[in-house]
Structure 1
């Protein structure tokens, strides 16, 4: 009886196996400018991923020297999280999509600018591939909003997350870790 049930289940498993996503290969272009090798989960994206460039002073060559940083290092106003191209991005909170015209080309061609006035934040998400929302949309928690890309990024597929004050610029950026609910895995 056990052999018969195994023989019946095995073909079903072989049919379903391709539907289960395999672990994605790392992007060979990824460069990490942190010693932190921890993988973090977040309700904003699937699976656990490493931070490529943390918030604050960094040795990453893409940033001009900043007076807040020693040794000619630059300042990174968000965090870059390495993830395969196409990784899905979900709204963690209710937000309104705001026009991204104030954002420069460093965020790619299709960055997201999300606002939650009640909680007092804007969230800039750069290097998105496909965006499923548009300015003016009210987005509910759990909604698929975009996919990760390498658009505008010289160092492979990732997403850039930058938390700002409502309507604020780079000078209002703060560490987005709490907003993203990053948890070590």
Structure 2
């Protein structure tokens, strides 16, 4: 009887769990602070993945209360997408790799800071590993630049994306959805 119950529950568990790409198990540390269960694709990364923490006011406990938010919520300056460690990350457009020294430890040991002066923005990508580019490199569209990691991330493997003004700090961050060209998986 227990075996039959377990087999009947399996399809429900598969639908409700954050599905990882073929061959990769979901990270048991993933915690989602959004009701959005959509899996998104993007030219920036391999596979399709769920948003863990959206841009803006959030109930995620990692952020100090912010005056822009109600109920003592914190403000998340980027977008976190849950993905297995090792997921490939690609450049979506031509960008220059710049010094990441202005980024703190919350982004992990190897964050990427990419710049497009002509388009007027910087891209911060946190929680990367096996970074395949170095400061001064100009990356091309579609070029493999890094892989997802859990470095500096208490909630498992994911990538953090921010869009900022050129040379700007957190106060210049804007929602990165358009930059990421997120599309629901079909």
User: What TM-score, normalized by structure 2, do the two folds share?
Assistant: 0.87
Partner Cα separation in structure 2 for residue 174 and residue 156 of structure 1: 24
Partner in structure 2 of residue 8 of structure 1 = none
Partner in structure 2 of residue 91 of structure 1 = 91
Q: Deviations over 1:89-112 (max 9, x none)?
A: 000000000000000000000000
Give the number of aligned pairs: 165
> How far off its partner does 1:71 sit?
0.5
Partner in structure 2 of residue 137 of structure 1 = 137
Partner in structure 2 of residue 72 of structure 1 = 72
SS at match of 1:57: strand
> How far off its partner does 1:22 sit?
2.8
SS at match of 2:106: helix
SS at match of 1:22: coil
Partner Cα separation in structure 1 for residue 87 and residue 51 of structure 2: 15
> How far off its partner does 1:25 sit?
1.4
> How far off its partner does 1:23 sit?
4.0
Moved over 4 A (4+): none
Bigger Rg, which one: 1
Structure 2 segments unaligned to the other structure (5+ residues) = 1-20
The correspondence of residues 15-94 of structure 1 with structure 2, limited to 5 A, is 22-94=22-94
Q: Deviations over 1:60-116 (max 9, x none)?
A: 000000000000000000000000000000000000000000000000000000001
Partner Cα separation in structure 2 for residue 115 and residue 22 of structure 1: 33
Partner in structure 1 of residue 5 of structure 2 = none
Structure 1 segments unaligned to the other structure (5+ residues) = 1-20
Structure 1 position 110 matched with structure 2 position 110: yes
Partner in structure 2 of residue 151 of structure 1 = 151
Partner Cα separation in structure 1 for residue 86 and residue 47 of structure 2: 13
Aligned-pair Cα RMSD in Å:
0.8
SS at match of 1:80: strand
SS at match of 1:152: coil
